[in-house]
């Protein structure tokens, strides 16, 4: 069964303290892995898509990496405005044309000034 | 901002009443989705559409129906609302690269 597990559930960092969030997944074949950021009371905001093991993408203080079993979202020198819930989702090749995503429960990140 | 709006943004209704939520997009994307988000469950797919009048069920479709008579509008209907349908509802559009972009959400409370 397709599954996405995110860890930790919650993370509290001091401003400038770098860390990583984990997304481990089980699918028959990976079509894509997606990272989103969600602020309270808002819809998820797209960050990155990764398609194959070894791929990396960066945006400001965020860097996403992908292996055959997991993805990491590295946050370098975070600022309070990086506080949010970070969601991971995967798409199984077996999903065919329906394009359904399998979602993790998210990591709630708090960055203290 | 992918040009997605949802209405209403907040709604309080009573058990047994019908409720319709609207999702509107401005960019003619073929794929549209309805999710609900609840603590401890994350995002769960209710229904999705892959074109006008083409819809299919997601993982939590019981008690919900959808319609898509125009490319830009995707309606979610709760035929007879129940307290278990109290949730935050998100609409999303799907792009050619399979990325999904989300609307701002509708907070629904069923008393």
Q: How far is B61 from chain A (nearest CA, A)?
A: 14
Domain span holding position B101: 4-110
Q: How far is A7 from chain B (nearest CA, A)?
A: 14
Task: State how many domains chain A has.
Answer: 1
Instruction: Examine residue A67 and state whether it is found in any structural domain, yes or no.
Output: no
How many A×B Cβ pairs under 8 Å?
52
Residue among A61, A105, A106 nearest A82 (CA): A61
* Most distant CA atoms of chain A, gap in Å: 45
Please provide the average confidence, as pLDDT, over all residues in chain B. Answer: 95
Instruction: Examine residue A24 and state whether it is found in any structural domain, yes or no.
Output: no
Residue among B61, B105, B91 nearest B79 (CA): B61
CATH number at residue B98: 2.60.40.10
Instruction: Examine residue A66 and state whether it is found in any structural domain, yes or no.
Output: no
Instruction: Examine residue A46 and state whether it is found in any structural domain, yes or no.
Output: yes
Q: How far is A17 from chain B (nearest CA, A)?
A: 27
CATH number at residue A55: 2.60.40.10
Measured between beta carbons, the chain A residues lying within 8 angstroms of B102 are 36, 43-46
pLDDT (tens digit, 9 = 90+) per residue, A40-99?
A: 999 999 999 999 999 999 999 999 999 999 999 999 999 999 999 999 999 988 876 667
Separation between Cα atoms, residue B44 and residue B88, nearest integer Å: 11
Q: How far is A79 from chain B (nearest CA, A)?
A: 23
pLDDT (tens digit, 9 = 90+) per residue, B77-94?
A: 999 999 999 999 999 999
- Residues A51/A32, Cβ–Cβ less than 8 Å: yes
Hey, are the CB atoms on A32 and B103 less than 8 Å from each other? no
Instruction: Examine residue A72 and state whether it is found in any structural domain, yes or no.
Output: no
Q: Which two tokens stand for residue B97?
A: 């690269």
B97, pLDDT greater than 90: no
**Mean pLDDT, to the nearest integer, of A10-23?**
98
Closest Cα in chain A to B49: A98
* Most distant CA atoms of chain B, gap in Å: 40
| DSSP-assigned letter for residue A77 | S
pLDDT (tens digit, 9 = 90+) per residue, B46-56?
A: 999 999 999 99
Hey, are the CB atoms on B99 and A46 less than 8 Å from each other? yes
CB atoms within 10 A of CB B58: 18
What pLDDT, on the 0 to 100 scale, is given for residue B2?
Answer: 65
Domain span holding position A40: 1-9+29-61+82-101
Which residue of B29, B42, B48, B95 to mutate against A (max A Cβ within 10 Å)?
A: B42
Q: Which two tokens stand for residue A43?
A: 């819809």
Instruction: Examine residue A49 and state whether it is found in any structural domain, yes or no.
Output: yes
B22, pLDDT greater than 90: yes
Task: State how many domains chain B has.
Answer: 1
Measured between beta carbons, the chain B residues lying within 8 angstroms of A106 are 42
Instruction: Examine residue A112 and state whether it is found in any structural domain, yes or no.
Output: no
**Mean pLDDT, to the nearest integer, of A13-26?**
97
């Amino acid at each position: 069964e397709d599954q996405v597990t995110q860890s930790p559930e919650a993370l509290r960092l001091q401003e400038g303290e770098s860390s990583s969030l984990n997304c481990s997944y089980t699918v028959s074949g990976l079509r894509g892995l997606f990272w989103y950021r969600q602020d309270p009371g808002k819809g998820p905001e797209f960050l990155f898509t990764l398609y194959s093991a070894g791929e990396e993408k960066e945006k400001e203080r965020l860097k996403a990496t992908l292996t055959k079993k997991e993805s990491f979202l590295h946050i370098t020198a975070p600022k309070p405005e990086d506080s949010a819930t970070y969601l991971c989702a995967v798409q199984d090749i077996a999903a065919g044309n329906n394009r359904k995503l399998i979602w993790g429960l998210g990591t709630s990140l708090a960055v203290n000034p | 901002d992918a040009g997605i709006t949802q209405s209403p943004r907040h709604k309080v209704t009573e058990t047994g009443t019908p409720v319709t939520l609207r999702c509107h997009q401005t960019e003619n994307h073929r794929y549209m989705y309805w999710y609900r988000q609840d603590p401890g469950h994350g995002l769960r797919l209710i229904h999705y559409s892959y074109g006008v009048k083409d819809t299919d069920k997601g993982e939590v479709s019981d008690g919900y129906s959808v319609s898509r008579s125009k490319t830009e509008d995707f309606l979610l209907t709760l035929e007879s609302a129940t307290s278990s349908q109290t949730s935050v509802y998100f609409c999303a559009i799907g792009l050619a690269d399979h990325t999904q972009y989300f609307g701002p959400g509708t907070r629904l409370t069923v008393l």
